[in-house]
């Protein structure tokens, strides 16, 4: 901010000196053309409107952030705030040529950056030939989803957990469920989520009956008399996870369509049902539970931490039955049983009391990782590896200590993609090598383009992998044009040569107001840059989808030397969705 103010002050000083200081004009003329251009200031002004009605939005708060100047210096710093007038018009102090982020907020509307699509937006680019004095800024009215959770008697349920999820396609691999809010009802059983973006949502609620008891089978057998046993049984109840509008199975959940400015009422009624008792035979010996600690997990709308928390219920030993354990208080529903020794898992539809036969469990394997940097430098900290299924339906995240040795005890068999995250440092997978006699057959980088196949295959035996990483430091920069004119607000995708093998190496951006883009932190390799108009809901990471756009895209190579930037020599052609 001080740097920006000093530039503006320098312009004012120049004007003062030109009038009062003899010979200053001669000295000013001797400055370079670049210095004179940097001293020129450009306006940023426009009008805020309601995206739904087209009406102007008055008294909106406007914030301007510096992003970078034309010499390539990067920063993000709040440099000015303003307020739109009653007609929605705003005007900020003129600024030097550069890139700026414009953010607008108003009570009752979604706070947004200019031309925002999800997490992407267009920067305002000031400079010669850029019209930044008539910026149309559209704000979406905020929506609210509210409701009340009640019990069988119609009484409010306090401290019920409410999960609101949105159907999104933000990762290019098809629609998925994204948690929008995980809230708790108040003492009136009410919940409310404000400023909900437009979209399709699902809602679920879960609570525990305040009066419930969950005795074990042993405790029931030890009841003093039949009357006591009947009283204990009557209180052995649970609330199943309940979805809007009344279903207790996820496939029966009713979608909630939310539009800008909507106020949606979505009440949920919970009904107590007899709690279930599940028993499992873990093996012989009094320490069977210590060697194998089973966990009961329930996946609700893509969220494992919602129903009864990730580690759902604790198994209790059954007295007089060595190796036998019991889960109590189980509500009917679909669960996954996880075993630790040996690692395994199985799906279970719990509909009644039963002994679970785990002989059909799917065996899981352990995976050891030895992680290193390609140049021999110390591993960045924090550092984590992520194993994810190709459709992102399942993800396993593993922190990696400074010595580079990490272990996953239970990984399901099948094909996984591997990516690495070094905190603020973006990392690429240079190679994956298996030291196991069989199992994964990962790819390795070849020649001067060390871009590894990120897929590994886990089989029914332990696996040891050596993973080599390298920083991804190269920015790919260019412009997108339609009919010979640079186009703003277009989705840009950096597509790796083998998309199915390199899901972690896709990069995306949105063109700025002058049609420019910067695809950040690309890993060395061969790519194609494509520009797609209104392509935000495409499955852009699916090879069969993005393949339709590659022929008209622009090939680009990021060399192994990893320069700071690679600039495209010609604009990328904008294609229709």
> Is there a contact between 106 and 48 (Cβ–Cβ < 8 Å)?
yes
Q: Which residues on neighbouring strands pair with residue 50, listed in sequence order?
A: 139
In sequence order, which residues have a C-beta less than 8 Å from that of residue 471 and are 6 or more positions away? Answer: 422, 425, 426, 427, 428, 562
pLDDT reported for residue 67: 87
Considering all CA atoms of the chain, what is the largest pairwise distance in Å, rounded to the nearest integer? 110
pLDDT of residue 290: 59
Dist. CA 75–CA 481, nearest whole Å:
27
Tokens 């083998």 label which residue?
498
Closest CA to 179 of 28, 299, 344, 57: 299
Cβ atoms 76, 123 nearer than 8 A: no
Q: Strand 343-350 relative to strand 425-434: parallel, antiparallel, unpaired?
A: unpaired
Convert 399-426 to b/e letters by CB count within 10 Å (16 or more is b): ebeeebebebebbbeeebbbbbbbeebb
Delineate the domains of the chain, giving CATH numbers in brackets. Answer: 40-139 (2.60.40.10), 143-359 (2.60.40.1120), 363-471 (2.60.40.10), 474-576 (2.60.40.10)
pLDDT of residue 238: 94
Q: Parallel, antiparallel, or unpaired for β 316-317 and 324-330?
A: antiparallel
Q: Rounded distance, CA 246 to CA 202, Å?
A: 12
User: DSSP states of 190-222 as a string?
Assistant: EEEEEEEPSEEEEEEEE---TT-----HHHHHT
Instruction: Per-residue pLDDT tens, the chain, 577 aa: give them.
Output: 434 434 433 433 333 333 333 443 334 334 444 554 556 999 999 999 999 999 999 999 999 999 854 444 455 789 999 999 999 999 999 999 999 999 999 999 999 999 999 999 999 999 999 999 999 999 999 999 999 999 999 999 999 999 999 999 888 988 889 888 889 999 999 999 999 999 999 999 999 999 998 888 788 878 778 888 888 889 999 999 999 999 999 999 999 999 999 999 999 999 999 999 999 887 655 555 556 678 888 889 988 767 554 334 567 778 877 778 889 989 999 998 888 777 888 889 999 999 988 777 888 899 999 999 988 999 999 999 999 887 677 889 999 999 999 999 889 999 999 999 998 899 999 889 887 544 444 444 333 334 568 889 998 889 999 999 989 989 999 999 999 999 999 999 999 998 988 888 999 999 999 999 999 999 888 999 999 999 999 999 999 999 999 999 999 999 988 899 999 999 999 999 9
Partners of 82 in beta bridges? 62
Rg (alpha carbons) of the chain, rounded to whole number: 30
Within 435-568, strands assigned E span: 455-458, 463-471, 474-482, 485-486, 491-496, 507-510, 516-522, 525-533, 554-558, 565-567
What's this model's pTM, rounded to 2 decimal places? 0.83
How far is it, in rounded angstroms, from Cα 517 to Cα 125?
11
């Amino acid at each position: 901010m001080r740097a920006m103010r000093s530039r503006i002050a320098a312009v004012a000083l120049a004007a003062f000196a030109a009038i009062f200081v003899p010979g200053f004009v001669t000295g000013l003329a001797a400055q370079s053309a670049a210095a004179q251009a940097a001293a020129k200031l450009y306006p940023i002004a426009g009008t805020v409107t309601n995206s739904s009605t087209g009406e102007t939005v008055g008294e909106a708060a406007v914030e301007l952030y510096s992003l970078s100047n034309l010499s390539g210096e990067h920063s993000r710093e709040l440099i000015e705030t303003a307020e739109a007038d009653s007609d929605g018009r705003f005007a900020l102090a003129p600024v030097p040529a550069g890139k700026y982020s414009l953010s607008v907020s108003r009570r009752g509307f979604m706070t947004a950056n200019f031309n925002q699509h999800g997490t992407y937006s267009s920067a305002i680019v000031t400079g010669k030939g850029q019209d930044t004095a008539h910026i149309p800024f559209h704000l979406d009215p905020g929506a609210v989803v509210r409701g009340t959770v009640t019990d069988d008697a119609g009484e409010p349920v306090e401290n019920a957990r409410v999960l609101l999820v949105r159907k999104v396609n933000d990762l290019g691999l098809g629609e998925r469920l994204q948690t929008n809010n995980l809230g708790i009802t108040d003492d009136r059983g009410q919940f409310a989520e404000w400023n909900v973006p437009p979209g399709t949502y699902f809602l679920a609620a879960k609570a525990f009956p305040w009066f419930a008891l969950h005795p074990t089978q042993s405790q029931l057998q030890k009841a003093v008399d039949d009357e006591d046993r009947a009283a204990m049984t009557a209180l052995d109840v649970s609330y199943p996870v309940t979805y809007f509008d009344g279903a207790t199975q996820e496939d029966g959940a009713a979608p909630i369509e939310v539009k800008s400015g909507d106020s949606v009422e979505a009440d949920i009624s919970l009904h107590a049902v007899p709690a279930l008792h599940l028993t499992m035979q873990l093996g012989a010996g009094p320490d069977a539970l210590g060697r194998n600690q089973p966990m009961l997990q329930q996946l609700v709308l893509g969220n494992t931490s919602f129903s009864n928390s990730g580690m759902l219920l604790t198994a209790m030993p059954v007295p007089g039955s060595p190796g036998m354990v019991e889960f109590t208080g189980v509500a009917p529903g679909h669960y996954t049983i996880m075993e630790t020794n040996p690692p395994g898992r199985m799906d279970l539809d719990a509909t009644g009391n039963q002994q679970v036969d785990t002989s059909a469990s799917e065996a899981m394997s352990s995976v050891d990782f030895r992680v290193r940097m390609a140049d021999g430098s110390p591993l960045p900290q924090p550092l984590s590896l992520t194993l994810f299924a190709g459709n992102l339906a399942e993800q396993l995240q593993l922190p990696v200590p400074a010595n580079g040795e990490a272990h996953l005890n239970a990984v399901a068999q099948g094909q996984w993609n591997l990516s690495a995250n070094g905190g603020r440092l973006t990392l690429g997978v240079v190679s994956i090598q298996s030291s196991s006699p069989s199992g994964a057959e990962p790819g390795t980088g070849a020649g001067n383009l060390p871009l590894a196949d990120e897929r590994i295959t886990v089989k029914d035996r332990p696996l040891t992998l050596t993973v080599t990483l390298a920083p991804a430091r190269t920015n790919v920069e260019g412009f997108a044009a339609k009919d010979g004119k640079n186009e703003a607000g277009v989705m840009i995708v950096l597509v790796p040569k083998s998309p199915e093998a390199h899901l972690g190496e896709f990069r995306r951006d949105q063109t700025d107001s002058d049609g420019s883009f910067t695809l950040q932190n690309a890993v060395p390799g061969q790519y194609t840059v494509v520009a797609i108009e209104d392509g935000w809901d495409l499955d852009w990471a699916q090879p069969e989808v993005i393949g339709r756009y590659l022929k008209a895209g622009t090939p680009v190579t990021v060399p192994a030397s990893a320069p700071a930037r690679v600039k495209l020599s010609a604009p990328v052609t904008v294609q229709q969705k």
